[in-house]
Amino acid sequence: MRLNSIYHYFRMFFRYPESTDSDRSRRYAFAIRDALALIDEVYMKKSYRPFIDYLSREKNNALAVKFVTNFDGIAKSHDPNYIIKSLFFRGTIVIDASYLNSNRRGIEIPFPYVIDRSKNNISIPTFGAPNNMKDEVAVLLGLINEFRLEGTWPTTLETISYWDLSSGLEKEMNLNSVTPVNRNKLIEVLNKF
């Protein structure tokens, strides 16, 4: 089973309410998909051309444009040449079937992140206000520590940033104050899927 994003795991873990407007949720999901694909392409090509081309299209997703514009603004506030000096990954946390109480073959939890090579920092693009960041980071670190991560992860990590692409704001947190969630609690929630 593959979840749509780490947010779906957080929603189950913290019992976040689901949207009652399915049409709005679908539009939001498409905008997130388009924005992440575009960000991925910019990093792969090491060029801003995909952004420029997308913005000049006659038909583009206005919400995706907002997300990408906010991503670009936050990233450039760190370094004008961020696509050269940082790396973008679409990591996946893989939970083996042996941990689950069901007949699932396992669970995959994807999440995008940016590694800043000049600092010991990971930035995670989010699409809503970081109201529960400390607890979410504790869950994320628990998942990464306890299960297999497909993707590159720094050996030394001092801070994690949330880049809220809906508002263009950034929130950074020092990891000294974070205790990763233990495996048993993580598995308990995984078995609810």
pLDDT band with cut points at 50, 70 and 90 for residue 44: very high
pLDDT band with cut points at 50, 70 and 90 for residue 59: confident
Flag whether pLDDT at 69 surpasses 80: yes
Q: How does pLDDT run across 87-109, given as a tens digit for each residue?
A: 999 999 999 999 998 888 899 99
Mean pLDDT (the chain) is: 91
pLDDT for 118 equals: 79
> What is d(CA 141, CA 60) in angstroms, rounded to the nearest whole number?
35
68 within 8 A of 61, measured Cβ to Cβ = no
What residues does 162 pair with on adjacent strands? 124, 171
**Which residues, at least 6 apart from 177, have a Cβ–Cβ distance to it below 8 Å?**
134
Query: Any idea where the domains of the chain sit in the sequence?
Result: 6-16+70-190
**Which residues, at least 6 apart from 63, have a Cβ–Cβ distance to it below 8 Å?**
27, 28, 31
What residues does 89 pair with on adjacent strands? 113
Q: How does pLDDT run across 168-187, given as a tens digit for each residue?
A: 999 999 998 899 999 999 99
> What is d(CA 5, CA 10) in angstroms, rounded to the nearest whole number?
9
Helix (H, G, I), strand (E, B) or coil at 89: strand
- pTM comes to 0.87
148 within 8 A of 27, measured Cβ to Cβ = no
**Which residues, at least 6 apart from 155, have a Cβ–Cβ distance to it below 8 Å?**
none
